[in-house]
Structure 1
Amino acid sequence: MAYVEASGARLYYEETGRGYPIIFVHEFGSDCREWETQVRYFSRSYRCIAYNARGYPPSDVPDDLKQYGWEFSVDDIAAVMNGAGIERAHIVGLSMGGYAALQFGLRYPGKASAIVAAGAGSGSPPSHREAWLRDTLVTARGFLERGMDAMAEEMGNSPTRIQLKYKDPRGWQDFVDHLRQHSAQGMSNTMARYQTLRPSLHDFQERFAKMTTPVLLAVGDEDAPCIETNLMLKAAIPTAGLWMCPNTGHAINLEEPAAFNAELERFFSAVERGSWRAGWSRS
C-alpha cells in the first residue's frame, strides 16, 4: 500500500500503468475504487494515480475539523503529485473532486496540463446557496446520528444517483456497498468543513476568465444542481469545452463509462497534439 504525506494527513494512493500521468480525484460519495473503469482503460497508455481524500480510509481520518476543507483538497493533489515524483499531469475530478481540480488549475497552473471537471458545481448557483448551506449541515450530522448504512441507502436513491440504479443495478450496488464502508466521522467532517464552507464557483469567474489550461467540463443532463454552473464555467473559461451526456445523472463516469472514457481520450489527444484551443468567439 502506497502513501504520501500531506499537511495533517497521510493519503493512500494506487498507481497503475506507465506513460504520461493522470491524477484521478474522487467525489464525496466515492473513493478511488469508483475510478476503476477509467484506470483499467487509461492505464494501457498512461500512468494512472487514484487516491483517497483525507477522511476516506485507508487515508487518515483526522479528528480535528480544522484539518478538512476545500483548500486542503487542492493542496492534497499537489502532495500526491510530489510524493509520486510528478511535476505535471492531467487532472480528472468528479463532483467534489471536480471542484478541487478547477481550484488546482487556479492555484497551480503550471502543474496541470489538462483538467477534466465532471459533475462539478453542486451548491454553487446563487439560487441554491441558502438551501445548500442548510442541507449540508443536516447531512453532516446524519452520518454520525443515523450511520453509514442509512445514509448510503439514501444517497444511492437520491434524484441525481437513481439513474445509475436504473442503468446498471450491479454497478449501483457496488457504489452503495463501498459507501457503507466509509468512515462516518470522515464523511461528516468532510461535509461540514469542505462541502459546506467551500465558496461558490461563481465567485471565481474573473479568475477563471484568465485560465489558459485546457479544460473539459462534463455533466449529465439530469444532474440538475450542476447544469447552471457548468454553463457559467463554459462561458467564463476561455479554454473550456462542455460535454453534456444525455439521460445521465451525477456519477457520470459510472453511468456511462464507455462514453466518458471516449470523451476524455478525445480531449487528452487534442491537448497532447496541440489542437485544443480557446473557443472561436474568443479568437
Structure 2
Amino acid sequence: MQVVTHDSITLYVEEVGVGTPILFIHEFGGNHASWEPQMRGFSRRHRCISYAARGYPPSDVPSDLEAYSQAIAAQDALAVLDGLGIDKAHVVGLSMGGFTALHLGLLAPERVLSLTVAGAGYGCEKEHEQYFREVSLAVADNFERLGAEAFAPVYAEGASRVQFQNKDPRGWREFAERLGTHSDLGAALTMRGVQARRPSFVDMSEQLAEMYCPTLVMVGDEDDHCLQPGIFLKKTLPACGLAILPKTGHTLNLEEPALFNALLGEFLVQVEAGRWECRDPRALPGQIMRTGEEGAA
C-alpha cells in the first residue's frame, strides 16, 4: 500500500488487523519491518499500521537534503493517517520515531489518542548536543562513503545496541542485516536532515508542558543518552508515565518484545478507559513527606 505526502513523496505502508488504530513509527536504524513483534501482537485487537519513512525503500528516497527534517517527518506521519482515512490513532515511536511521535502530538493533537515515546533523547542533553550533531554528520558520511551494507555491522555494535546482541544474537543479526539493506543516500540524508538538525526536548519545554495527550515514555537503563531526556519528558509532559526497562539498550521493541508489548498494552487499556490522567496536583515534586503544616502562614 502507498500514500503520498504533501510534497508528492510516496511512502510504503503496511497494515493489519481491525479496531482502534495504532501507528508505529520506526527508528533510524530500522524500517517498517522493525515493528513485526508489535504488528503481530497488537493486530489481534487493533488496526496496526507501519510505514517506511522517506529515504527508506520501498518508500521514495528524495535526493535533496531539504526534503528531510523533523517537521517534515511529522507531516509524513500525518499524511499516513490521512491517506488511510484515519481520524485518530494511538502513535508509537522508537528513537527517531519517538521524536516524530512527539512532534505529531504538537502538530495535530486532535489526531492523537495517545503517544508512546520509546528510546528517544539523543541530542537532547545540552552538554552533549554539539557532540551528537558532529557524530551524526560523521555517521552520515560513513553511510554515503562506505555504503549501508559495509557500515551496518559497525553501527549495529554501538554502545546501546550490544545489549540486544548479547541477549538475542539471532534477533540482533536480523536487525544488522536489515540495516545493511538501507539506501546509502537515504540514510545519509536522514541523518543530516532529521537527526542532526532536530531541536532538543529542552528547547521545546514550553510547548511540551502544554501538551496534555496521554503519553508513555519507555527507556532502557543502559541507553545512557536517553535516560535523562526520558526523565525530562516525565517531569514536563502533564500526562506522562515513565517506564525504565532493566539491563536494556536502545532497540527496546526488538530487544525486549514481551515486556515492551505488555507495557504498551496496559497503557492503551488505561487510556481507552479514561484512566491515564494528568499528574495529581497534590503530588508536589518538591515534597518528600507531608507534615500537615503545608500552606501555613
Which range, TM-score by smaller chain?
Answer: over 0.9
1:272 aligns with 2:272: yes
Equivalent residue runs for 1:76-115 within 5 Å: 76-115=76-115
1:193 aligns with 2:193: yes
Equivalent residue for 1:209?
A: 209
Equivalent residue for 1:42?
A: 42
Q: CA deviation at 1:146?
A: 1.4
Q: 1:112-171: per-residue Cα shift (whole Å, max 9, x none)?
A: 000000001101110111101111111111111111123210111111000111111110
Equivalent residue for 2:290?
A: none
The letter of the residue matching 1:244 is I
Equivalent residue for 1:246?
A: 246
1:6 aligns with 2:5: yes
> Counterpart of 1:93 in 2: which secondary structure?
strand
CA contact (8 A) 1:238 1:282 kept: no
* Stretch deviating more after TM superposition (33-42 or 131-140): 131-140
The number of equivalent residue pairs is 282
1:123 aligns with 2:123: yes
Change (3 A) 1:64 1:271: same
Task: Measure the CA separation in 2 of the matches of 1:277 and 1:246.
Answer: 25
Task: Measure the CA separation in 1 of the matches of 2:111 and 2:141.
Answer: 36
Equivalent residue for 1:159?
A: 159
Give the TM-score of the pair, scaled to structure 1. 0.98
Equivalent residue for 2:173?
A: 173
Change (3 A) 1:147 1:241: same
Q: CA deviation at 1:211?
A: 1.0
Equivalent residue for 2:294?
A: none
CA contact (8 A) 1:222 1:249 kept: yes
Q: 1:7-50: per-residue Cα shift (whole Å, max 9, x none)?
A: 33110000100011000000000001110000000000000000
> Counterpart of 1:280 in 2: which secondary structure?
coil
Q: CA deviation at 1:201?
A: 1.2
Task: Measure the CA separation in 1 of the matches of 2:87 and 2:120.
Answer: 25
Task: Measure the CA separation in 1 of the matches of 2:263 and 2:73.
Answer: 25
* Stretch deviating more after TM superposition (105-114 or 147-156): 147-156
Q: 1:64-122: per-residue Cα shift (whole Å, max 9, x none)?
A: 11111111100011100000000100000000000000111111110000000000110
> Counterpart of 1:249 in 2: which secondary structure?
coil
1:133 aligns with 2:145: no
The letter of the residue matching 1:7 is H
The letter of the residue matching 2:153 is E
> Counterpart of 1:241 in 2: which secondary structure?
strand
> Counterpart of 2:44 in 1: which secondary structure?
coil
Equivalent residue for 1:30?
A: 30
> Counterpart of 2:197 in 1: which secondary structure?
coil
> Counterpart of 2:50 in 1: which secondary structure?
strand
Task: Measure the CA separation in 1 of the matches of 2:253 and 2:142.
Answer: 27
Equivalent residue for 1:145?
A: 145
The letter of the residue matching 1:4 is V
1:19 aligns with 2:48: no
Task: Measure the CA separation in 1 of the matches of 2:77 and 2:282.
Answer: 30
Q: 1:168-203: per-residue Cα shift (whole Å, max 9, x none)?
A: 111001000100000000000000110011111111
Give the TM-score of the pair, scaled to structure 2. 0.93
Question: What's the RMSD between the two structures over aligned residues?
Answer: 0.9
Task: Measure the CA separation in 1 of the matches of 2:222 and 2:254.
Answer: 14
- State the structure with more CA Rg: 2
CA contact (8 A) 1:148 1:180 kept: yes
Equivalent residue for 1:69?
A: 69
Task: Measure the CA separation in 1 of the matches of 2:126 and 2:33.
Answer: 33
* Stretch deviating more after TM superposition (130-139 or 80-89): 130-139
